[in-house]
Amino acid sequence: MTDRKLISMATEVMANSYSPYSRFKVGAAIECTDGTVFTGCNIENSAFGATMCAEAAAVAAAVSAGQRSFKRIAIISEGNSYCFPCGSCRQLLYEFAQELEVLSARADGRYVSYSLASLLPMAFGKEHMDNL
């Protein structure tokens, strides 16, 4: 799948964003190593701390379907700035995909690519709990 196609899937799901509080719509599409794609949008809550990011929604859909191995994620928001995963989502993604490629797209179609490793250096992961 091309980067553009993955971004277009993130763009499509962004339309379903439930974001009455921030009015900041986000969409994410995560590609599994077998090529399957799962999407998610941000889902806000009146108790703000219960808000779910688009990336977390996409991971939840994928893991719930039995997927645990990912190679790429595309994230898009409406504005003309690049939306990168928040710190909590970086950690969530790291659990399943230490080698993940992160595409961040803008509404005007431009996008950038980073490794998750560069966005979350010296991450804590299950490999550090080898006493378990």
Q: Which residues are catalytic?
A: 55
Residue 74 or 83: the one with the smaller Cβ distance to ligand THU is 83
How far are the Cα atoms of 4, 7, 75, 96 from residue 68, in angstroms, in the given order? 23, 21, 19, 6
Q: Are 108 and 80 in contact (CB under 8 A)?
A: yes
Q: Does 31 bind ligand THU (CB under 6 A)?
A: no
Among 29, 37, 44, 119, binds ligand THU (CB under 6 A): 44
- Minimum CB distance to ligand THU, residue 53 (Å): 3
Q: Does 51 bind ligand THU (CB under 6 A)?
A: yes
C-alpha of 2 from chain center: 17
Q: Does 19 bind ligand THU (CB under 6 A)?
A: yes
14: left (phi over 0), alpha (psi -120 to 50) or beta: alpha
Return the ∠ at Cα 14 (arms to 42 and 16), rounded to 5°: 75
Among 6, 14, 54, 116, binds ligand THU (CB under 6 A): 54
Total of residues contacting ligand THU (CB under 6 A): 15
